[in-house]
Amino acid sequence: MSKSRKNKNKNVTSIAIKLNAISVRDMFFKFLVLDLLVVIVLAVLWCINAEKTFYGSLVENAQRSIELFPIEAAKYTVVWDNGRTMVKEAASFINTLIDIISILGILEGLFLLEEIIFGTAKIRKTLRPLNEIAETASRLSNMAFDEDKFQNLEAAISKLSPVGSDERITIEDSELQGLEDAINKLLDRMRDSYRQQARFVSDASHELRTPISVIQGYANMLDRWGKKDESVLEESIAAIKSESENMKNLVEQLLFLARGINGKTQLNIIEFSLSEMMKEVFEESKMIDENHFYSYINEENIKIKGDEGLLKQTARVLVENAAKYTEQGEDIIIKVGKNINGEPLFSIQDNGIGMDAEDVPHIFERFFRADTARVRKDGGTGLGLSIAKWIIDNHKGYFSVLSRKGIGTRITVHLPQNLL
């Protein structure tokens, strides 16, 4: 160990000893004040009880005196203005009080002894991170940053691309190892962010290309034959309207996610009944979708704090997904309750086509399709579950997903008991 390091350790030990001495002193005076308060409170209560026992109530206008010494003859005297006098023997009470204070003193002495013996070590342990920071700062301040090191660092950074490759900075200088690791971690985060953005743009372009191609195809067909053929005209208009609606929904959902990521979507937190909200979703689903059998299970009237509109949007997304991947005439179960930790939850369960286990972790990714069977259907955009996840994440909640291929899927939303 270097002489400088030994000196620093001695300084830390000296500081720890001083801080521990202050702590022991403060603890001693706190115990002293506590003991004094105990004596005063017990003495007052004993005097009040003695007067009530003798006079039947607390005497207001009276002369009081107490003789403490010798303790064997200690007494408490009260002279009422009507001449009635009470003399109460106090020796037994004082002896009991001494016993109580003695027991407290022994316990407090043990606490003080423990603090004296182990306090310095505990304070040294607490100061250790600060000591390490001080040592690191001292080492950095004494580091010799010559011109060659600056040039090597600049050359290594200039060769890097934050988006193009997975190349990492290598300076091969032990003094700059921490800086090298920090730059490489920053590059990893930048490249990961870039790949996510590139994938998002690619997926969004692909999703938009399909409705645009359909609209363009029907527009060309109208131009050739639709002016005179009414059947072609009606088919083309219906298709163009449908694909335009799909594009509108896709763009709105993309904008919602973009606003959410940029922090421009604010939650409107209110207290409301989760049970009533899910009952409304149940009634709406039953009315809109006559091809499935809906049932609603509610254990109790559960109230939560959250954005009712966004949480209802999440529930609708889950119900719509269940309906898309469940055959007609099958059951969809909507449930409200609490989990084993007492957290509010709601779940949507179907007995549809289900998913493979390896696909489940990816279902909340944008534009993700588990397999060819789960293709876009009824105007789906592939963004619904991504939006639902953003909503639940911002409510500090989480999802649990149980799915079996060919059996069905249950998605449960768990919400915190005390939101925000």
Instruction: Specify the pLDDT at position 2.
Output: 52
Residues 34 and 126 in one domain: yes
> For residue 223, what are the contacts with CB-CB under 8 A and spacing of at least 6?
none
**Short-list 278, 308, 319, CA closest to 296:** 278
Looking at the fold, whether 241 and 284 belong to one and the same domain comes out as no
pLDDT in tens, 349-405: 999 888 888 888 888 877 766 554 444 444 455 677 888 898 899 899 999 999 998
Asked whether residue 321 carries a pLDDT value surpassing 60, the answer given is yes
Report the range of poorest mean pLDDT among 80-84, 184-188, 285-289.
80-84
Of the three residues 235, 261, 287, the one that is the final residue of a domain is: 261
Mean of the per-residue pLDDT values of the chain: 78
Task: Evaluate whether 272 touches 307 at the Cβ level (below 8 Å).
Answer: no
Q: What mean pLDDT comes out for the span 304-319? A: 90
CATH number of the domain at 238, please: 1.10.287.130
Asked whether residue 166 is assigned to any structural domain, the reply reads no
Same domain (yes/no): 256, 277? no
Q: What is the CATH number of the domain that holds 397?
A: 3.30.565.10
Same domain, 82 and 202: no
pLDDT confidence of 232, banded at 50, 70, 90? confident
**For the chain, what is the domain count?**
3
243 occurs within a structural domain: yes
In a domain, 100, yes or no: yes
Q: Is residue 36 part of a domain?
A: yes
Among candidate residues 337, 354, 333, the one with its CA nearest the CA of residue 346: 337
> Residue 218: is its pLDDT beyond 80?
no
Residue 192 lies in a domain: yes
- 324 and 402 share one domain: yes
Give me the pLDDT at residue 318, please: 93
Q: What is the pLDDT of residue 350?
A: 93
Output 172 or 409, whichever has higher pLDDT.
Answer: 409
Residue 216 has pLDDT above 90, yes or no: no
In this structure, of 132-136, 179-183, 352-356, the range with the lowest mean pLDDT score is 132-136
In a domain, 151, yes or no: no
Q: Does residue 85 share a domain with residue 21?
A: yes
Question: What is the distance between the alpha carbons of residues 349 and 243, in angstroms, rounded to a whole number?
Answer: 30
The full length of the chain comes to 420
Environment class of residue 190 by beta-carbon count within 10 Å: exposed (0-12), middle (13-18) or buried (19+)? middle
Query: Contact 273/303 with Cβ under 8 angstroms?
Result: yes
What distance, in Å, lies between the first and last C-alpha atoms of the chain? Answer: 50
35 and 94 both lie in a single domain: yes
Confidence of residue 24 (pLDDT cuts 50, 70, 90): confident
Q: Is the pLDDT of residue 4 over 60?
A: no
Q: Do 358 and 285 share a structural domain? A: yes
* Domain shared by 275 and 255, yes or no: no
Let me know: does 204 contact 215? Beta carbons within 8 Å.
no
Q: Which two tokens stand for residue 339?
A: 């989990």
Q: Do 277 and 395 reside in the same domain of the chain?
A: yes
pLDDT tens profile 253-284 = 677 766 766 666 778 889 999 999 999 999 98
Domain closes at, from 261, 288, 311: 261
Candidate from 87-96, 202-211, 248-257 with smallest mean pLDDT: 202-211
**Average pLDDT of the segment spanning 398-417:** 91
Decide which of 219, 242, 261 is a domain's last residue.
261
pLDDT of residue 243: 75
Give the residue among 393, 398, 285 at the shortest CA–CA distance from 344.
398
Its pTM surpasses 0.75: no
The whole domain housing 77 covers 3-141
The answer on 191 and 76 residing in a single domain is: no
Which of 208, 201, 197, 312 has the alpha carbon at shortest distance from 250?
A: 208
Average pLDDT of span 328-336: 93
- Residue pointed to by tokens 């009712």: 308
The pLDDT value recorded for residue 296 is 95
Whole-number pLDDT of residue 192: 74
Q: Same structural domain for residues 196 and 245?
A: yes
pLDDT given at position 251: 75
pLDDT of 23 over the 50 cut:
yes
What pLDDT does residue 96 have? Answer: 84
State residue 372's pLDDT score: 41
Residue at 147 is within a domain: no
pLDDT digits (tens, 9 = 90+) for 65-86: 888 777 777 888 888 776 778 8
Q: How far apart are CA 186 and CA 169, in angstroms?
A: 11
Strand order in the sheet with 62-67: 62-67, 75-80, 85-89
Retrieve residue 99's tokens: 């016993």
Give residue for tokens 């730059």.
183
What does the alpha-carbon distance between residue 222 and residue 233 come to, in Å, rounded to a whole number? 6
In a domain, 204, yes or no: yes
